[in-house]
Amino acid sequence: MPATTIVWFRHDLRLDDNPALAAAAARGAVVPVYIWAPDEEAPWEPGAAARWWLHGSLGKLAAALAKAGAPLVIRRGGSLATLREIAAAVGATHVTWNRRYEPAVVQRDTAIKQALAADGLTVESFNGGLLYEPAHVATKEGKPYQVFTPFWRALLARDEPAAPVAAPRKLVPPPKQAAGLDVADLGLLPTIPWAGTMQKTWSPGEAGARKRLDAFLERPLTNYGTDRDRPDHAGTSGLSAHLHCGEISPRRVWHAVRDAVGGKPAAKLAGSPEVYLRELGWREFAGHLLFHFPHTAAAPLRADYAKFPWAHDPVGLRAWQRGRTGFPIVDAGMRQLWATGWMHNRVRMIVASFLVKDLRVSWLEGARWFWDTLVDADLAANTLGWQWAAGCGADAAPYFRIFNPTTQGEKFDPDGTYVRTWVPELAKLPAGDIHQPAAAAASVLSKAGVSLGRDYPEPIVDHAAARKRALEALKAVSKGK
């Protein structure tokens, strides 16, 4: 009996280096399926910006699969019931997918795998989203890592990640077809036009991912180590959303970077190329932590921080969300996020520190806002980043390490270019004043056309006083109060 395999696409919206698709194509007929079932991922169902991205990515995937010979079947509804229905319609013998590691999805996929196997189907899953399977990376004692540096050393000590596999040239469709929806039927796009800048900024899909990778590698990698910290420079790869949706595999990126510097093993690289691969290592570490500590999506890894006295400050939270804090680098970052669905990583650390330390608002409030507004909203990375900022997670910066938003702006945006881009009301201020307009002379403000409190807000907190309050709150945790 000829094999017919359902390939269940999720966070692997590509044909290139897709283990589940490759296995199905090698076996016989292929039925690509995408199921929109956000409720099954609660409480972390995709946010608004991620849905916008998904709309574009699914459209590109559908076109690529159709060209290869096997149209994408798009459905909405319960995943198990939908897979069973499609399997019956096309006479499927196998179902395959690439694994995901979010807690709710792991539970769901485990139950679906058991149910479909009980139906008589052969069910296979593959690692298509990480360099290594999280369960296969452990300390000498067999425990998961909780500190990045030894985790990274352990990765470098392993064999290089497997080489990526090229996309199948031709897919064989099944004799029987299953009906599906159009991407537009999923209602992923916003009902009000807030995504205009995102549309101009990003190109969702596999081709967009490869184009962005190629553009990144055309620049000298030697500058990445310093440029990645400068939000006023185009110094990062911008691949995070493409990686999250699986439009490009981390193995493809890993090997492309190595090839760009002569194919040296990662363990022998130094300088900027090693720094970039280490960033892929951080992505890997985030997945490792979420897999082994699934409770961290909603609770601190360091249990003592469950007692931290977070402040209830809806006014401050709203000012932070709107980019109206009176601290230019913070406001620039939050406005960049709202406009483009993305924020420079250095600025993510600055705005996160401001929320959890200057305002003392819970990291979960920040995580939820990022989740809804980031096109690269990834549960593992979001959790790791916010717990790092709050000092309550793995590899956490000590809570008393509190970023000064003014000096951070002066250091990483020295000419004020980033602030001028996203906070245009301050554009005419000289570089020496743009990161602290509240301290600028009245004549300087007047010449720049800035009236504090009218054109741009006064600082909503005194940083020195806020820092003192944050350290007092930390004492309450350390003393067990």
Residues with a known catalytic role? 279, 282, 310, 345, 363, 386
Query: Are 249 and 165 in contact, with CB atoms under 8 Å apart?
Result: no
> What's the first-to-final CA gap in the chain, in angstroms?
68
The residues near 326 (Cβ < 8 Å, ≥ 6 apart) are: 438, 456, 457, 458, 459, 460
How far is residue 348's CA from residue 337's CA, in Å, rounded to a whole number? 9
How far is residue 171's CA from residue 224's CA, in Å, rounded to a whole number? 39
Only one residue has tokens 């009996």, namely 1
Peptide bond into 190 cis (omega under 30): no
Report, in angstroms and rounded to the nearest whole number, the Rg of the chain calculated over CA atoms: 24
Report the 10 Å Cβ neighbour count for 401: 11
Nearest to 16 by CA among 171, 247, 283: 247
Query: Are 222 and 272 in contact, with CB atoms under 8 Å apart?
Result: yes
CA dihedral 174, 65, 18, 221 (to 10 degrees): 170
- Buried residues in 261-287 as b, exposed as e (16+ CB within 10 A): beeeebeebeebbbebbbbbbbbbbbb
How far is residue 384's CA from residue 395's CA, in Å, rounded to a whole number? 9
